[in-house]
Amino acid sequence: MAYFLQQIANAVPVAALYAALAFGFSIAFAVTRRADIGYGALFAFSAQMFVLFSGYGWSHLWLVLPTALGFGAIMALLYSVGAGLVVGRHVMRPLAFSSDNTVVVAALGVVLVLMETARLASDTRSLWLPPFLNARITFWADPAFPVVLTVIQLANTGAMLAIVAVGYLVLSHSAWGRRWRAVSEDRLAAELCGVDAAGVYLSAYAVAALIASLTGILAVSYYGNMDFGAGLVFGVKVLFIAAIGGAGAPLLSALGGAAMGLAETLWSAYGDFLWRDLVIFSALVLLLVIFRREKTVP
């Protein structure tokens, strides 16, 4: 029983991470209905820039660790959100309302560029952050098997849930949120009412890039490292995660992401780790086929 409770506790930070990623992806997807795997690349790129600049601040600027981490976080946000704005304005917005295949090819190009940029900037070295905020908090003091989480896991969970909550409030109660909903429901009708659909898309892509950047920084703060190929992996994974709850509905996508985080953690605990991704993705494909909704073309 204690082992099961520990796995549930382990699933909470993973579920929060996937929920925040799916929420951000859905904000951009809702206004274009185009699959963009470049979103996962922004997540990984932000994490890699955070590690790179934190190491630079520590080893070259002689900053103390908290200041080096703050410097790394600021530079990671500048680079990754800046990259997101450039990609959104000059690559994705001109193609956003064209063929699905065009967007997929362009997004794959974005993934490769960001992956190679991070690799070259790091001189193909796998950099690691030192562990921090790793004090254990006990939830069930069983002498044989205590149920614990670390401070960084709890802090990350709270931060990612706050991202989803604040994002949902903005979408639900702000003027920009009303324009976003109008474009996501019917772009042409929104333009007839005077809404700048292209501008809404660009701002939605910027918000999605900001969420991807923040989650990347939070995730690598716990894991300590982000592989150069993680952009493509997370791009595909986030696409499937968001589709569970309906990629055009951010809150439902976040719930779908949380469900996948729970399933992935439990499989890692009780199943063969080598088969985890195959089983999870196969189950997602099956769910998408079962619950697929067709729209009749008049």
* pTM of the predicted model as reported, rounded to 2 decimal places: 0.91
The share of the chain scoring above pLDDT 90, in percent, equals 44
Residues 74-79 have a mean pLDDT of: 96
pLDDT band at 164 (very low <50, low <70, confident <90, very high): very high
- pLDDT tens for 262-289 read 988 998 888 887 888 788 778 777 777 7
- pLDDT tens for 215-229 read 999 999 999 998 888
Res 220: pLDDT: 94
- Tokens encoding 14: 């993973």
Residues 231-253 have a mean pLDDT of: 76
Residues 54-76 have a mean pLDDT of: 94
Locus of tokens 């994705």: 92
Name every residue whose Cβ is closer than 8 Å to that of residue 35 and which is 6 or more positions away in sequence.
Answer: 29, 100, 103, 104, 107, 239
Name every residue whose Cβ is closer than 8 Å to that of residue 67 and which is 6 or more positions away in sequence.
Answer: 57
Packed helices 2-32 and 230-245: angle between N→C axes, nearest 10 degrees? 90
Residues 75-86 have a mean pLDDT of: 94
Res 90: pLDDT: 86
Rounded (5°) CA angle 206-114-184: 30
- For residues 273 and 4, the model is more confident at 4
pLDDT band at 297 (very low <50, low <70, confident <90, very high): very low
For the chain, the average pLDDT equals: 87
